[in-house]
Amino acid sequence: MREYLKFYIDGQWVDPVEAKTSNVINPATEEVSGRISMASLADVEKAVAAARKAFAGWSQTTREQRLELLLAIQAEYAKRQNEIGEAITEEMGAPNALGCGFHIGLGGGHIATAIEALKTFPFEELRGQTMIRREPIGVCAMITPWNWPMNQVAVKVLPALATGCTMVLKPPQLAPYSAQIFAEVLDKAGVPKGVFNMLQGSGAVVGAALSAHPQVDLVSITGSEAVGVEIARAAAPTVKRVCQELGGKSAFIVLDDADMAKNVAGATGGMMINSGQTCSAGSRLLVPKKRMAEAIAAAKEAAAAVTVGDPKGNFAMGPVVSKNQFNEVQRYIEIGIKEGAELIAGGPGRPDGIGKGYFCKPTVFANVDNKMVIAREEVFGPVLVIIGYDDIDDAIAIANDSDFGLAGYVNGIDGEQCNAVAKRMRTGWISINGGFDFNAPFGGMKRSGNGREWGEFGFHEYVEIKAMLGYAPAPQA
């Protein structure tokens, strides 16, 4: 049983102002795995005050001082990363190989990327007699989700530290353990007092208070569209910057070539990673109509190969994060059936032989119309829809016919054709034939949000631009 009952404020682990706790449920067992304290408005005030006080000094540190800190964080993270991975498995049900693999690998990758970006980031740029300065924006509130908990903490905290900002982090109530360990990593690495603060608690209390707080200069939120809208509303009266990475219903276009069946199989298996709880998941698989039967056979076989079970065992897919999430996935599966989509794999209920835990079946619908609910709304579970297209123009039209624009995928033998298709897709991040890059900016268009994270592009969210006209350059020696 884990108990995380203190908050990290002003460089210390402190008791909450009010003694209120919440149980954390293990989604694989439906049993209580631990308790966390729930922050109050008084705790928010303490954390923001600490961050504001620390900003005066931290914002004036040198690039070299901040690099030294990031390198210390990297070293401490390496010591604790497997422990963080085990916590992710327990808190949100990621299979152990995934939790101690890609989950912690993302955190480590973002630390390394931030270190390299900091070495060359242009904080000052002289253009004639005008000095362009990029200065830290101030106190940042960070609200992170439960589905990729370490990834989303790292892509917010590291750029903020690197650019000289101070911050208050609110991790997800459903998956709080890994962030608690990460806070211990930062403390051990020597983050100065007040630069990093962390409060556990509910979005309705902590998230809302941070968003509206007049001493918070930026809010960075990763979550649902509905939550993003409410945070933007709360932040509007104080005219603070709001960076949002929200929902997605990303199109995965498979080109009509000899590798189509292989690419369909890969897309199907990829959709089930992390139990489909990925905002950038390729949940709309677009295939040539004339080859729909071939695509169905490949997808059906790939879905059947996805093993589901105890995340501590040797299974490819664990549970979804909570009872509410399980019920939402089941609701969407029932909607798909009622809409007349062809169910070719999975379906309602738990997989055979599993009587407990929030486990869903890897589910695939074929011959889906892009106007169906299951093609329009984000299910956030292991549910893939296959949509047929007539030609490339039709595929692009279908892909772009969405309220969302977070991610996209194009797979095919002809690289030039893949590039041409990707250029026409209205989405912020596109993987061509499995491309991946820690330095590539990640973020969305349309209702998927605004702003960018990852690599150097993530730094720009945390700086203000100052122009100093008539700047006198340093005299020549």
Active site residues: 245, 279
Buried b (16+ CB within 10 A) or exposed e, 415-430: eeebeebbeebebbbb
CA gap 46, 63 in Å, rounded: 28
Helix 63-92 vs helix 177-189: angle between axes, to the nearest 10 degrees? 150
Question: Which amino acid, one-letter code, is at 174?
Answer: L
Q: Exposed, middle or buried by CB within 10 Å (0-12, 13-18, 19+), for 47?
A: buried
Give the C-alpha distances (Å, rounded to integers) separating 125 from 131, 229, 305, 426, 467: 6, 35, 54, 32, 10
Q: Which two tokens stand for residue 417?
A: 């054709």
CA gap 413, 324 in Å, rounded: 41
Buried b (16+ CB within 10 A) or exposed e, 175-197: bbbbbbbbbbbbbebebeebbbb
Tracing tokens 């630390």 back to the chain, one arrives at: 111
Handedness of CA 119, 124, 125, 128 (dihedral sign): negative
Residues 6+ apart with CB under 8 A from 62: none
Q: Which two tokens stand for residue 204?
A: 């309705």
Q: Which 8-state DSSP code applies to residue 215?
A: T
